[in-house]
Amino acid sequence: MKKKKQIIQTAIISVFNKCKLVKFATGLLRNNIKIFSTSGTRSELNKNNIQTYHINRLTQYPEIMNGQIKTIHPKIFGGILGNKKKYFDVIQQYQILTIDMVIVNFYPFNNIDKNIDIEKMIDIGGPAIVRAAAKNYKNVIVITNILDYEKVLHEIYNTNSVSIKTRLQLAYKAFDYTMNYDYNILKYYSSKMKSLYANQKKHFFPKQLNLQYIKKQKLKYGENPHQKSVFYIKKKNSFTGTIGSFKQLHGTLLSYNNISDANIALECVNQFDKPACVIVKHGSPCGAAISKNIQISYLLAYNSDPISSFGGVIGFNNIIDDDTIRLILEKQFVEVIVGPEITPQGLQSIQKKKNIKLLICGYCNKKNISSLELHSVNNGLLVQQNNIVNNHIHDWVVVSKKIPSDLEKKNALFLWKIVKFVKSNAIAYGNNFHTISIGSGQTSRIDAVKIANTKYCSEYKKIDCKKQNIIMASDAFFPFRDSVDLASVVGVSCIIQPGGSIRDSEVIQAVNDHNISMIYTGIRNFKH
């Protein structure tokens, strides 16, 4: 037996956002729906010659306390919550008019100036009436988003009613709306609390973590083609120079790995003031350099590991020019290029290659860096402060007999900033402000050194092995002296590492044996 259609006869409208209101209300009247509205909404409609009843027709009670209390009345909530059949007697007794439709939105309690005391803007009646309507969605249509006006009117025109599917969807949106409204209030109260407890620790890991993101875009797929994936960004949209702010100016649909790698490339180059380039593959830099311009930086980074660079993600911290683009296209196949901006000619050159994805993110304001990193595990979430440490050369300690030169120190700082982004265990070799070879992702440190050695002496590179003064950076301490012994074979002259092993004295002995200088930073840089 088909259920009888619910004819819509009455609507309550009380909106802060009055866009599209006139057209919508006109549509309701055309369908013989009686409109009750609160003062502000009513005067807006009146201005446009749309006749509505004042809400106090339902309540026989005035709006009091500057409109704070206008809809909060048993007759209104009875009219929304009361199923006509179930509560027939009550409805009769208290002369309640059943409400079929509720259209409400509130003052948007986000993007607010946290210095103003705006508690008085918190809506109480609005969320209550929306929640009541959403609770009784089988009998009441609730609209909280002006984008739904047209769809609902369309259904009413065509069917004289609104389907249960649509009603449920609208109710879902309504609770989503009230939840978010309270979330924004909560953030405001949280900031008030923080200023009250000003001396408390800076990083606040709450007992309950509430995270909100908005969908930026669907991705081609996740880490693998059989995994679906989506990219979300933070709600507050003021973060140029980070991956959250990218605009894709060219290329096909991005994948999970593209964004993950582009993030690493951007974070890495944004450490430098000089024109920098880093090439990332499988979540780890395979080449990096700083120099007087990004074209040279790219060439140096590429030469560090031409094999791994194939299909990589290339990041820059400076405007990308046509010469650099042309050099990249000549040298290699590239998946993604990411940087702050691009010249028109550079863009034209890229547009000739349909498979290159170009992401432009603007220049980085250091304040835009996320302060927390999230990593999900099975049924849990690891949350940590991000690894932002000021690298002060004057905090370093030289522990070897040999003292590094100023140039070696500067190179050591460069490599230290690179090795921080390489998957652990990580070893980076370099000189003249570019990497020479990188050993990454090893479960024991000696293996990372072996890889760095092998790559350095690789037949693919035309460097005369053993002749150069190599700087070596290690993301964590050496557990034994073997890594130093092995490094000495290829001509390492200076090592930078955190220090802190129980066998540090053995390691220091090794550098002294090989006449290598060694710097302790005191900071470990694992990255997984």
Q: Catalytic amino acids?
A: 135, 282
Pairing of strands 434-439, 427-431: antiparallel
Cα 301 to Cα 265: distance, rounded to the nearest angstrom: 12
CB 278 within 8 A of CB 301: yes
Query: According to the binding rule CB under 8 A, does residue 227 interact with a copy of itself?
Result: yes
Q: Which stretch binds a copy of itself (CB under 8 A): 30-38, 100-108, 131-139, 403-411?
A: 131-139
**# binding residues, a copy of itself (CB under 8 A):** 142
List of residues 6+ apart from 526 with CB closer than 8 A: 424, 475, 476
Give the nearest distance from C-beta 512 to a copy of itself in angstroms. 25
Residue 70 CA: distances (Å) to CA of 79, 252, 405: 15, 53, 76
| Number of Cβ atoms within 10 Å of the Cβ of 93 | 9
Which residues in 483-512 contact a copy of itself (CB under 8 A)? none
| 282 touches a copy of itself by CB under 8 A | yes
User: Using the rule CB under 8 A, which residue among 88, 94, 107, 157 binds a copy of itself?
Assistant: 94
Residue 377 bridge partners (DSSP): 380
**Positive/negative CA dihedral, 144, 148, 150, 155:** negative
Q: Which of 54, 151, 216, 410 binds a copy of itself (CB under 8 A)?
A: 216
Question: 303 preceded by cis ω (within 30°)?
Answer: no
Candidate list 425, 431, 483, 517; residue touching a copy of itself; CB under 8 A: 425
Binding status of residue 435 toward a copy of itself by CB under 8 A: no
Q: Which is nearer to a copy of itself, 7 or 90 (CB)?
A: 90
Q: Is residue 225 a contact point for a copy of itself (CB under 8 A)?
A: yes
Which region, judged by CB under 8 A, interacts with a copy of itself, from 30-38, 78-86, 351-359, 506-514?
78-86
Task: Determine if 386 is a binding residue for a copy of itself (CB under 8 A).
Answer: yes
Taking CB under 8 A as the criterion, which residues in 344-373 touch a copy of itself?
Answer: 368-370, 372-373
Check residue 115 for interaction with a copy of itself (CB under 8 A): no
Residues 448-487 that bind a copy of itself (CB under 8 A): 450-451, 454-455, 479
Binding of residue 45 to a copy of itself (CB under 8 A): no
Q: Which long-range contacts (CB under 8 A, 24 or more apart) does 462-470 make?
A: 463/436, 465/490, 465/491, 466/490, 466/491, 467/491, 468/431, 468/436, 469/408, 469/431, 469/493, 469/494, 470/429, 470/430, 470/431, 470/436, 470/494
- For a copy of itself, the closer CB: 143 or 219: 219
The yes or no reply on residue 4 touching a copy of itself (CB under 8 A) is no
Q: Restricting to residues 153-212, name those near a copy of itself by CB under 8 A.
A: 164-165, 168-169, 171-172, 175-176, 178-180, 182-183, 185-186, 189-190, 192-193, 196-197, 203, 205-212
Q: Under the criterion CB under 8 A, does residue 526 sit at the interface with a copy of itself?
A: yes
Q: Assign 3-class secondary structure to 32-70.
A: CCEEEECHHHHHHHHHCCCCCEECHHHHCCCCECCCCEC
> Bridge partners of 517?
494
